[in-house]
C-alpha cells in the first residue's frame, strides 16, 4: 500500500489530489456537535496543501437517499475545515456537476475545496457495478491523484472508496496508515494480557468480532444494552431491558466456547435501572436504582452498569497490556447513566496498557465526557470499520489502495 510519504516524495505540486475523507460528523441543525473526524483528516490535507497540491476533499454525511437534501449538506463541515486550517476552503454545491467542475478548475496550488455530500448522487452507494463505475468515472475527471483517508468508510464498497482508486494513481493518507498500524497491533503479535470491552445496544452488531476475538483475547468484558441478552442467556430476569431474543443461542455458544478456551468472559454484577428510558432532550433526573444483575425487577430496564460492575471492570483492565474498547456501557448521553462509560474510559486512562477506543459512540463518549484524547493510545475514527477488520474481513477500501 503506497503511503502519502511516497506520494509527496514523487511530487504533487500543481496536481489535483482527490482526498476521500470521512467528514460524517454529528449535526444539530447546522451546528457540528463533534468535529473529531474533521480534525482527523487535517494532517493529510495540510501536508498536501503545503506541498502545493490542489486538494479536493470529498465525503459522505448521513444517509440521504441518493438525492440532494439540505439536512445532510457538507457545507458546515467545509466551513469547519476552513476554520481548522486557518484558510478559506471553497465549497462545491454538487458532486460532479457544474459547481464541482468550476470549483476544482478554480483551485490554485496549495488551496483546498470540498465537494457536496457524495451520497447525493445515487451512484455512490449503488449495488450495480456499472452505475457505481459511472459515478467513479465522473469523480476521476476531477482529479489526477487519489488519496484514501476516510477510514470510517473503508468497509463500504462505494464508488469513491472502492471504484475510484482503480482509476487514478492512489495512496493511503496519514489517517488510514495510522489506523491500519494500530489494528495490526490488535491482531498480530498482541502484547498480553489482551482485554476487550464491548458495549452498545445490540449483540448482533458485535457477533462477528466476538467470534473472532475468542481466538485472540484473554478477557472480554460486556456492557451496554447487549449485556442483557447475555444475562437472559444465563437464565436471569432482565425486566424490560433491551433484548435480542433471537441471539440467545449464539450468546450461549460464545459463553461455552469462552469457558472451553480459557477466555475470561466478564458480565455486569449490578446495573442501574429505571422504569422508563430517560429523556435525552431535557436530561430530567431519572432517579435510577441499583440492583443485582440477576435480580432486575420485571417492570424495570437496565440502562447502565452499576458501581460494583465498574469496580470489577476497572480491576480487569488494570493489569492489561493491550485494551480495545468499542461501545458505551450505558445511556451515556444522560448524566444519570453516564457513570459506567466514564469509569471504563478512566480505567483505560489509568492503565499503562496500549489502549484503543474503537470509534463510533465510544469515541464520541470520550469527548463528550471531557477526557483528554491524548490520554488514550489511539482513538479510531471508524467504529464499523474497526470491528470488521477485527472480524478478519477484507475491507473494500483498504483492498482498493493496495498495489
> What tens digit of pLDDT does each residue of 95-107 get?
999 999 999 999 9
User: Which of 34-48, 182-196, 378-392 is the least confident region?
Assistant: 378-392
What are the binding residues for substrate?
22-24, 37, 60-63, 119, 156
pLDDT value of position 232: 97
Q: What is the pTM of this model?
A: 0.88
pLDDT value of position 144: 98
pLDDT value of position 359: 72
Is residue 354 over pLDDT 90? yes
CB-CB neighbours of 26 under 10 Å: 14
pLDDT value of position 25: 93
Is residue 358 over pLDDT 90? no
Mean pLDDT, rounded, for 158-167: 98
User: Which of 122-126, 206-210, 216-220 is the least confident region?
Assistant: 206-210
What are the binding residues?
22-24, 37, 60-63, 119, 156, 206, 302, 333, 359-362
pLDDT value of position 383: 81
Question: What's the farthest any 2 CA atoms get from each other in the chain?
Answer: 67
Give per-residue pLDDT as tens, 370-381.
Answer: 999 999 999 988
Contacts of 152 (CB under 8 A, 6+ apart): 22, 24, 37, 359, 381, 382, 383, 384, 385
Contact 334, 286 (CB under 8 A): yes
CA–CA separation, 112 and 303 (whole Å): 44
Is residue 403 over pLDDT 80? no
Retrieve residue 391's grid coordinates.
472480524
pLDDT value of position 203: 87
Residues designated catalytic: 37, 202, 360, 384
CA–CA separation, 172 and 179 (whole Å): 11
Mean pLDDT, rounded, for 152-177: 97
Reported confidence tier of residue 328, pLDDT bands at 50, 70, 90: very high
pLDDT value of position 202: 86
SS3 292: strand
Amino acid at each position: 500500500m503506497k503511503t502519502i510519504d511516497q506520494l509527496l516524495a514523487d511530487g504533487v505540486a500543481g496536481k489535483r489530489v482527490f482526498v476521500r475523507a470521512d467528514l460524517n460528523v454529528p449535526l444539530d441543525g447546522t451546528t457540528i456537535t463533534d468535529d473529531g473526524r474533521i480534525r482527523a483528516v487535517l494532517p493529510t490535507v495540510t501536508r498536501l496543501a503545503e506541498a502545493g497540491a490542489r486538494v479536493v476533499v470529498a465525503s459522505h454525511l448521513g444517509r440521504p437517499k441518493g438525492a440532494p437534501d439540505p439536512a445532510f449538506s457538507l457545507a458546515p463541515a467545509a466551513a469547519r475545515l476552513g476554520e481548522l486550517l486557518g484558510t478559506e476552503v471553497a465549497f462545491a454545491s454538487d458532486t460532479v456537476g457544474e459547481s464541482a467542475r468550476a470549483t476544482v478548475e478554480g483551485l490554485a496550488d496549495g488551496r483546498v475545496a470540498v465537494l457536496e455530500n457524495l451520497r447525493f448522487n445515487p451512484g455512490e452507494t449503488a449495488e450495480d457495478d456499472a452505475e457505481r463505475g459511472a459515478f467513479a468515472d465522473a469523480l476521476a475527471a476531477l482529479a489526477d491523484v487519489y488519496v484514501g483517508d476516510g477510514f470510517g468508510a473503508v468497509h463500504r464498497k462505494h464508488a469513491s472508496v472502492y471504484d475510484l482508486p482503480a482509476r487514478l494513481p492512489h495512496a493511503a493518507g496519514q489517517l488510514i496508515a495510522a489506523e491500519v498500524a494500530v489494528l495490526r497491533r490488535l491482531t498480530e503479535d498482541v502484547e498480553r494480557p489482551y482485554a476487550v470491552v464491548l458495549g452498545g445496544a445490540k449483540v448482533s452488531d458485535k457477533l462477528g468480532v466476538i467470534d473472532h476475538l475468542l481466538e485472540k483475547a484473554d478477557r472480554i468484558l460486556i456492557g451496554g444494552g447487549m449485556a442483557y441478552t447475555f444475562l437472559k442467556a444465563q437464565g436471569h430476569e432482565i425486566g424490560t431491558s433491551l433484548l435480542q431474543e433471537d441471539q440467545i443461542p449464539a450468546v450461549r455458544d460464545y459463553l461455552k466456547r469462552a469457558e472451553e478456551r480459557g477466555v475470561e468472559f466478564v458480565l455486569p454484577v449490578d446495573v442501574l435501572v429505571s422504569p422508563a428510558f430517560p429523556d435525552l432532550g431535557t436530561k430530567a433526573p431519572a432517579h435510577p436504582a441499583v440492583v443485582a444483575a440477576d435480580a432486575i425487577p420485571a417492570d424495570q430496564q437496565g440502562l447502565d452498569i452499576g458501581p460494583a460492575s465498574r469496580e470489577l471492570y476497572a480491576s480487569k483492565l488494570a493489569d492489561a497490556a493491550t485494551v480495545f474498547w468499542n461501545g458505551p456501557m450505558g445511556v451515556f448521553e444522560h448524566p444519570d447513566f453516564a457513570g459506567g462509560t466514564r469509569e471504563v474510559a478512566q480505567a483505560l486512562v489509568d492503565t499503562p496498557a496500549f489502549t484503543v477506543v474503537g470509534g463510533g459512540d465510544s469515541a464520541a463518549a470520550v469527548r463528550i465526557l471531557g477526557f483528554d484524547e491524548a490520554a488514550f493510545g489511539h482513538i479510531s475514527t471508524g467504529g464499523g470499520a474497526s470491528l470488521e477488520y477485527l472480524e478478519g474481513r477484507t475491507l473494500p477500501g483498504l483492498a482498493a489502495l493496495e498495489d
